[in-house]
Chain A
C-alpha cells in the first residue's frame, strides 16, 4: 500500500482517504498480531522485534523506489534530511518537524503530531502513554531499513513524552 502511495502521489494529491486508513488499520492489526502471537516471559516488556523487522523490510524497499530519481547524497546529514522530508511526507503526509544532531552520528527526529498517534491521546492526558510505544516499533524499523539501503548502519529508538508527538533517535554505527 505504501508503494502505491508513492506511485499515485502525483495524480492524487490529498485525497485517497481510503488508502490512508487502510495502512492505519493494517498497522494496528500487525501490532495486535505480533503482541498476541508472542508469549512474553517478562511482564511489562513487550516483544516488538518482529514488527521492527517488518518495518526494516518495508523501509529498505521503499527507499529503492523513492531515490530512483535522485543523485547520490553528499553526506550523512543530507541522507537524513531526505528521510525527514521526502520519505516522511510520502508515508505520513507531513515532514519531520525538527531535526537535531550532535554531528557525531546521533540524530533526533522530532515529529509533533505523528500520524499513527494523532487519534490516540490529547497532549494534556497521560492515558495510553504506556501502550503507545508499541505503535512506533514499525516506524523505527522503517527508518533503520531505509538508512540501511543508503549504506548507513544504525540503531533507531523512539521516545514519547506527550502523546501525539514523538522523537526518533538515530544512532549511526561507525565501523
Chain B
C-alpha cells in the first residue's frame, strides 16, 4: 500500500501545501501549474456531481479511482480541500483525511499565531507532524 501525494487547497484556490511521498510519474510542469490544473479538475467534478446526481448529493464528491490510483477528496465546510492520492487497495482514507485536518492542520496552522492564513504553509512543525501521521497510517 502506498500514499502517493497530498494537496491542500484553500477556499480561493491557493495551493497551501503540497507533499509527495511515492510518486513515480512526474507531470512535467511546474508545481503551480499542476496545482491549478488539479484545482480546476476538482472544481469541475464537484459541480458535475452536484448537477448530475439524481438524488440529493449529501457529501458530494468523495473519491475517484483509476486502474492505478485512487484520489481521495475531503472538503471542509470552510472550503479547505484535502486531496490525497493513494493506491487502489487503501480503504476508507477519509478517516485519515479528517485526522489530518483536525489534528494537524488545525493544531499546527490555525493555532500557530505566526502562520499567515490563506498563504502557503511554511511551518516546519506542521511539515514534520504531517509526515509522521501519514507514515504511521496503515495505508503508507
Which residues of A come within 8 Å of B, CB atoms? 21, 24-25, 27-28, 31-32, 119-122, 125, 127-128, 131-132, 135
Contacts and interface: CB of A to CB of B under 8 A. Distances in A.
B111 A128 contact: no
B84 to A, nearest CB: 23
Contact of B114 (A24, A120, A122): A120
Contacts of A119: 107-108, 111-112, 125
Interface in B89-140: 107-108, 111-114, 122-125, 128
Contacts of B111: 21, 24-25, 119
Given A32-B113, A120-B114, 12 more contacts: A21-B111, A27-B113, A120-B112, A120-B113, A121-B124, A122-B125, A125-B125, A127-B124, A127-B125, A128-B123, A131-B114, A132-B114
A127 B113 contact: no
A18 to B, nearest CB: 13
The B interface is mostly helix, strand or loop, or mixed, namely loop
Contacts of B128: 122
Contacts of B125: 119-122, 125, 127
Nearest to A116: B113
Contacts of B123: 120-121, 127-128
A135 B113 contact: yes
| 10 closest Cβ pairs, A-B complex | A28-B113, A119-B111, A125-B124, A122-B125, A119-B112, A127-B124, A131-B114, A120-B112, A128-B114, A119-B108
Contacts of B112: 119-120
A24 B106 CA distance: 13
B122 A127 contact: yes
A58 to B, nearest CB: 18
A128 B126 CA distance: 13
Q: Of residues B111, B113, B122, B128, which shows the largest number of chain A Cβ atoms within 10 Å of its Cβ?
A: B113
29 contacts: A21-B111, A24-B113, A27-B113, A28-B113, A31-B113, A32-B113, A119-B107, A119-B108, A119-B111, A119-B112, A120-B112, A120-B113, A120-B114, A120-B123, A120-B125, A121-B124, A121-B125, A122-B124, A122-B125, A122-B128, A125-B124, A127-B122, A127-B123, A127-B124, A128-B114, A128-B123, A131-B114, A132-B114, A135-B113
Contacts of B113: 24, 27-28, 31-32, 120, 135
- Between A120, A121, A131, the greatest number of chain B beta carbons within 10 A of the residue's beta carbon is seen for A120
A31 B128 CA distance: 26
Nearest to A24: B111
Contacts of A31: 113
